[in-house]
């Protein structure tokens, strides 16, 4: 049976109190990337644990030890593990969320205090740091549980919660924790599938479920020559200049049309199936949406499928900048002695940081040799992560699609995303189960930007969506 | 008659007191580029004016008004104009120097206090900011005058002094002052030639006189696309990336061998004469010297003449850096929305900022069009200056060469320099007379670097050189 009507009624009837819960959470500036806010991240963990315990969840706040941030040793915020239900006849659903947020200052350009949830009655938008990323979705799960308890509806699944406080700062310690708790009798033992609500619809109209993420391989290419920076008047046209060499090298990486020039990359990319191709064609997302979101008419093609595939299932190569060169305003006449180009490649199946590394290193070395310079080359892989792809025909996805149709009266877009959410891959690999990304917010929420918001309707209907999803999973377990 | 023996004896006999004079000057931290040091620049002007008046020079410290530095309105240090001698039978020689210095902090890596002249008795090196650039040479002129007065030797020329306090910060106000004082009866009226001692030998062995300087044209090439920085995960391979476009564009400017690829540039360069060619061949400066000075084996050729011509009489193009891209350490996955490449071209006769601008703008626009990108291009010339070339066969040069041979028992290298000293061109054009660059210091003095030094022998023999030069000019005037 799908989610009962009392559940929906309770959510509608208690929207105000749910928004109050979100307001309390937004009021705690749990910025993980700024050492001076660390106490607020801990306060947020306590607030959450308290809310969870009040709902009858067994809570275990796991201490992850210390780490060093900007030279300062700091305690890591705990990972909050929670359990609700131990019925062997029901599936065990693991939900993940994070209670830390990105930094936010009024002086960055916020129109309201970022740490006061500020609803705009006319548009229904509720502004505040973390409203959409990821406090709204995380509290959505608590709202669902409250609705069931207060309405005396039996929860159709066993729930496990994994809420972390360092997601915006590299999820330090999380992978180790997960991998240490997967054995028999451990916290993650027996989980049937995972649901993560920490992404967004493609647009502001159509809900989606997401079954893929790109990986990344990030490179630093250093070219060095003189022992120290030189004056271009004195040394121009007498020595090999590392900047000239680096610019030539970076120019061999990718065409202005986005084609990666590194031999062997394209043959690593899994071919498109007809089934997959159709998914891009039906997505409610246009070239105009991409350009609206970039703020300018700069799409790499007029062909919607080409553009969407460029984001979702093709690799990309972006040159981010150069370290060690003159980067300030003004006109300095320096020949920099040592410059490092930074670029990264977004990975898709069947690319891995390892098989891409081999191609990148070999190509850069070959192209550098062609330059005939006396400068020296050094290549480093700064970090890497594999792409993730789930089977969108799995029951976990079928449940999410059904729930979306129930709540939004619309078939959700079936999407893959261009960025990375590393924990997705960790869960998939450590638990060996299907992982689903089920977003609450819209594409224009501005996570990580100024004036982050969550629409009231997304919060309330999103809470219904999460609850309905559990019931759809429950139906499958019983059938 | 060449400089009399009493002059040389006086200089040798008073070396200690001349070094004391330099020590007093170095002790005044007259850093023109730092507003908080401005009072010291004024103190230095007062010190100088006082020394000059004590020698009987008529001094006029010219107020140049105010300027704005880092948002702060500050009074400009005066230009000190001085006159000594009004004998119509003698030539009028204008000497230029600057009494301001580059910034210096012990924490930059100085081994001694930069504002305490610190002689190393073993090597004869005297360390201190401004020792070589340009307090030593400037005080050299006062030493010469003192030696003549105290030894009762008649000065063979009329002297005019022009000492500025803003050379290290763009010589603000100087050009206007010079141009306003060239008319009949004005300060610069009747000047027969100019001698500037504010450059260096090529090496640490052989004195030189310098008859040419390169000019410069400095460009900022901005490529813009998205309205704001984008996330490479979300937007990689969906939009045209300004960094990719800019890297391709900058890659079209110059080869790794230093050849400028902009059509039309090479045909602006004046052809080499046989006479000029011979000068490079005999210079006491090798590829090994260049590489020693760059601190690495990175010379653009093994051919000495090619390398020296690259610095002295060929243009060069250096890419200095990129503004607006990711330039910090670490790994940020940004697609920068607007990036500006900075590059400059060193100009030689017959290049001018104007004729080069036309070629650069047209070429960049054409190459950008070929990229087929939707990004936008904007090109700016940030600043420019013409090259300068004097006739090394002029009597002003013959006098300097003769004086060098007398003092150092060596024929000086006849050099052109790769950088710019804008006041050289201003004097040449405003006064219409021959300008000579007659250095006191050595190529390894480290002007603008940590541990700047002037060798004791260069200060003392250099003082003799400046005096001898005046006598050689005097011979010519009488003959
Ligand atoms: Zn998030
Ligand atoms: Zn986030
Ligand atoms: Zn100088
Ligand atoms: Zn200087």
Whether B214 and B315 have beta carbons less than 8 Å apart is answered as yes
pLDDT of residue A478: 58
What residues of chain B, 77 to 136, have a C-beta less than 8 Å from chain A? Answer: none
CA distance A185 to A201: 36
Nearest CA in chain A to B330: A382
Whether A452 is a known active-site residue: answer no
Ligand nearest to the CA of B136: 3
Nearest CA in chain B to A369: B256
The two tokens of residue A188 are 């993650």
Confidence tier at B479 by pLDDT (50, 70, 90): low
- Report the run of H or E that residue B249 belongs to, with start and end: helix B242-250
CA distance B124 to B236: 60
Neighbour tally for B376: CB within 10 Å: 15
pLDDT of residue A100: 97
Taken as a whole, chain B contains a residue count of 479
Confidence tier at A95 by pLDDT (50, 70, 90): very high
Taken as a whole, chain A contains a residue count of 479
DSSP category for residue A155 = P
Question: Is B231 labelled a binding residue?
Answer: yes
CB pairs under 8 A between A and B: 272
Confidence tier at A205 by pLDDT (50, 70, 90): very high
HSE at residue B300, side-chain half, CA atoms within 13 A, is: 23
DSSP category for residue B266 = G
CA distance B38 to B40: 5
Q: Where are the alpha helices (DSSP H) in B253-394?
A: 274-282, 287-294, 304-312, 353-371
pLDDT of residue B478: 58
B167 alpha carbon to ligand 4 midpoint, in Å?
A: 7
Measured between CB atoms, does B214 come within 8 Å of chain A? yes
Asked if the Cβ–Cβ distance from A244 to B230 is below 8 Å, we say no
| Residue A350: cis peptide before it, omega within 30 degrees of 0 | yes
- How many helices (H) and strands (E) would you count in chain B? 14, 20
Check: CATH 3.40.50.150 for A5-213+387-478? no
3 state SS of A344: strand
Q: Which of B51, B164, B167, B241 is catalytic?
A: B167
Nearest CA in chain B to A325: B321
Q: Select from A155, A160, A180 the least CA-distant residue to A4.
A: A155
3 state SS of B1: coil
Confidence tier at B8 by pLDDT (50, 70, 90): very high
Q: Which position has the token pair 């990580």?
A: A448
pLDDT of residue A373: 98
pLDDT of residue A218: 95
Asked if the Cβ–Cβ distance from A240 to B371 is below 8 Å, we say no
Among candidates B237, B290, B307 on the partner chain, residue whose Cβ is nearest the Cβ of A300: B237
- Per-residue pLDDT of B270-283, as tens digits, reads 999 999 999 999 99
Angle (deg, nearest 10), helices B136-150 and B456-478: 60
Chain A residues in contact with B258 by the CB 8 A cut-off are 237, 240-241
Task: Provide CB contacts within 8 A for A414, sequence distance 6+.
Answer: A208, A209, A211, A279, A283, A392, A401
In Å, how far is B364's CA from the nearest CA of chain A? 16
- pLDDT at residue A389 above 80? yes
Whether A197 and A95 have beta carbons less than 8 Å apart is answered as yes
- Per-residue pLDDT of A238-284, as tens digits, reads 999 999 999 999 999 999 999 999 999 999 999 999 999 999 999 99
pLDDT of residue B1: 58
In Å, how far is B248's CA from the nearest CA of chain A? 5
Asked if the Cβ–Cβ distance from A247 to B244 is below 8 Å, we say no
Confidence tier at B108 by pLDDT (50, 70, 90): confident
Measured between CB atoms, does B347 come within 8 Å of chain A? no
Say how far residue B283 (Cα) sits from the centre of its chain: 20
Among candidates A228, A333, A418 on the partner chain, residue whose Cβ is nearest the Cβ of B320: A333
pLDDT of residue B170: 87
Measured between CB atoms, does A326 come within 8 Å of chain B? yes
Across A71-92, average pLDDT: 96
Measured between CB atoms, does B409 come within 8 Å of chain A? no
Burial class (CB in 10 A: 0-12, 13-18, 19+), A450: middle
Q: Which position has the token pair 């310079």?
A: A373
Burial class (CB in 10 A: 0-12, 13-18, 19+), B105: exposed
pLDDT of residue A70: 84
- pLDDT at residue A31 above 60? yes
DSSP string, B383-396: EEE--EE--TTSHH
Encode A202-216: b = buried (16+ Cβ within 10 Å), e = exposed: bbeebbbbbbbbbbb
Asked if the Cβ–Cβ distance from B299 to A230 is below 8 Å, we say no
What residues of chain A, 287 to 306, have a C-beta less than 8 Å from chain B? Answer: 290-291, 294-300
Confidence tier at B360 by pLDDT (50, 70, 90): very high
The CATH architecture annotation of domain B5-213+388-478 reads: 3-Layer(aba) Sandwich (3.40)
Q: Which of A175-184, A205-214, B65-74, B373-382 has the lowest mean pLDDT?
A: B65-74
CA distance A215 to B234: 12
Q: Select from B435, B439, B407, B428 the least CA-distant residue to B179.
A: B428
- pLDDT at residue A479 above 60? no
Across A98-124, average pLDDT: 95
pLDDT of residue B449: 86
Across B118-124, average pLDDT: 97
- Per-residue pLDDT of A315-352, as tens digits, reads 999 999 999 999 998 888 999 999 999 999 999 999 99
Asked if the Cβ–Cβ distance from A248 to B251 is below 8 Å, we say yes
- pLDDT at residue B443 above 80? yes
Domain ranges of chain A: 5-213+387-478, 215-269+314-385
Percent of chain A with pLDDT over 90: 93
The CATH architecture annotation of domain B215-269+314-385 reads: 2-Layer Sandwich (3.30)
Among candidates B296, B321, B419 on the partner chain, residue whose Cβ is nearest the Cβ of A327: B321
Chain A residues in contact with B371 by the CB 8 A cut-off are 256
- Per-residue pLDDT of A286-305, as tens digits, reads 999 999 989 999 999 999 99
- Per-residue pLDDT of B160-192, as tens digits, reads 999 999 999 989 999 999 999 999 999 999 999
Across A208-221, average pLDDT: 97
CA distance B12 to A212: 83
Q: Which of A51, A100, A241, A472 is catalytic?
A: A100
Measured between CB atoms, does B370 come within 8 Å of chain A? no
B41 alpha carbon to ligand 3 midpoint, in Å?
A: 15
CA distance B136 to B126: 10
Whether A29 and A170 have beta carbons less than 8 Å apart is answered as no
Residues of the binding site of A: 98, 133, 168, 198, 231, 333, 346, 420, 448
- Per-residue pLDDT of B209-254, as tens digits, reads 999 999 999 999 999 999 989 999 999 999 999 999 999 999 999 9
3 state SS of B414: strand
pLDDT of residue A1: 58
Whether B245 is a known active-site residue: answer no
Chain A residues in contact with B334 by the CB 8 A cut-off are 320-321
Strand pairing report for B215-224 and B316-323: unpaired
Burial class (CB in 10 A: 0-12, 13-18, 19+), A62: middle
CA distance A98 to A16: 23
Nearest CA in chain B to A333: B320
Whether A160 and A83 have beta carbons less than 8 Å apart is answered as yes
CA distance A101 to A122: 26
- Report the run of H or E that residue B145 belongs to, with start and end: helix B136-150
Encode B286-324: b = buried (16+ Cβ within 10 Å), e = exposed: ebebbbbbbebebbbbeebbbbbbbbbbbbbbbbbbbbb
Among candidates B230, B295, B419 on the partner chain, residue whose Cβ is nearest the Cβ of A233: B419
What residues of chain A, 216 to 275, have a C-beta less than 8 Å from chain B? Answer: 216, 218, 220, 225-228, 230-241, 243-245, 247-248, 250-251, 254-258
CA distance A385 to B333: 13
Burial class (CB in 10 A: 0-12, 13-18, 19+), B52: buried
3 state SS of A218: strand
Strand pairing report for A158-164 and A92-98: parallel
CA distance B294 to B277: 24
Chain B residues in contact with A237 by the CB 8 A cut-off are 258, 300, 310-311, 314-317, 346, 418
Neighbour tally for B349: CB within 10 Å: 16
Percent of chain A with pLDDT over 70: 99
CA distance B351 to B355: 6
pLDDT of residue B167: 94
Among candidates B227, B234, B299 on the partner chain, residue whose Cβ is nearest the Cβ of A239: B299
Chain B residues in contact with A220 by the CB 8 A cut-off are 331
Whether A79 and A180 have beta carbons less than 8 Å apart is answered as no
Q: What is the ipTM of this complex?
A: 0.90
């Amino acid at each position: 049976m799908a989610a009962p009507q009392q559940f929906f009624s309770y959510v509608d009837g208690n929207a105000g109190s749910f928004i109050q819960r979100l307001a309390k959470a937004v009021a705690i500036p749990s910025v993980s990337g700024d050492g001076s806010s660390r106490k607020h991240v801990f306060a947020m963990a306590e607030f959450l644990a308290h809310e969870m315990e009040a709902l009858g969840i067994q809570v275990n706040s796991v201490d992850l030890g210390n780490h060093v941030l900007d030279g300062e040793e700091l305690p890591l915020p705990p990972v909050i593990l929670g359990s609700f239900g131990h019925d062997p006849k029901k599936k065990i659903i693991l939900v993940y969320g994070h209670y830390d947020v990105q930094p936010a200052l009024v002086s960055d350009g916020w129109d309201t205090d970022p740490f006061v949830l500020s609803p705009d009655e006319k548009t229904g938008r509720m502004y505040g740091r973390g409203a959409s990323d990821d406090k709204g979705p995380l509290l959505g799960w608590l709202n669902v549980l409250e609705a069931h308890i207060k309405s005396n509806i039996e929860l159709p699944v066993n729930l496990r919660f994994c809420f972390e406080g360092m997601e915006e700062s590299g999820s330090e310690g999380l992978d180790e924790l997960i991998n240490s708790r997967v054995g028999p009798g451990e916290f993650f033992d027996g989980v049937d599938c995972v649901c993560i609500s920490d992404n967004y619809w493609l647009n502001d109209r159509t809900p989606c479920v997401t079954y893929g993420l790109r990986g990344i391989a990030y490179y630093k290419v250093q070219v060095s020559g003189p022992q120290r920076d030189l004056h271009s008047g004195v040394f121009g046209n007498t020595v090999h200049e590392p900047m000239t060499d680096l610019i030539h090298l970076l120019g061999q990486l990718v065409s202005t049309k986005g084609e990666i020039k590194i031999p062997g990359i394209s043959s690593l990319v899994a071919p498109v199936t007809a089934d997959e191709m159709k998914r891009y064609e039906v997505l409610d997302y246009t070239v105009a949406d991409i350009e609206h979101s970039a703020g300018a008419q700069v799409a790499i093609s007029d062909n919607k499928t080409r553009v969407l595939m460029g984001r979702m299932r093709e690799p990309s190569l972006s040159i981010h900048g150069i370290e060690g060169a003159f980067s300030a305003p003004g006109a300095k006449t320096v020949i920099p002695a040592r410059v490092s180009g930074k670029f990264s490649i977004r990975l898709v199946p069947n690319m891995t940081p390892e098989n891409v590394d081999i191609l990148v290193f070999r190509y850069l070395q070959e192209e550098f040799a062609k330059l005939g310079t006396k400068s020296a080359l050094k290549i480093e892989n700064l970090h890497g992560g594999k792409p993730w792809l789930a089977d969108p025909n799995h029951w976990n996805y079928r449940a999410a699609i059904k729930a979306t149709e129930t709540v939004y009266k619309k078939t959700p877009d079936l999407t893959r995303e261009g960025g990375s959410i590393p924990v997705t891959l960790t869960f998939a690999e450590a638990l060996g189960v299907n992982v689903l990304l089920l977003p609450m917010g819209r594409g224009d929420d501005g996570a990580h930007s100024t004036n982050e918001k969550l629409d009231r309707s997304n919060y309330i209907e999103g809470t219904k969506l999460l609850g309905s999803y559990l019931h759809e999973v429950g139906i499958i377990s019983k059938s």
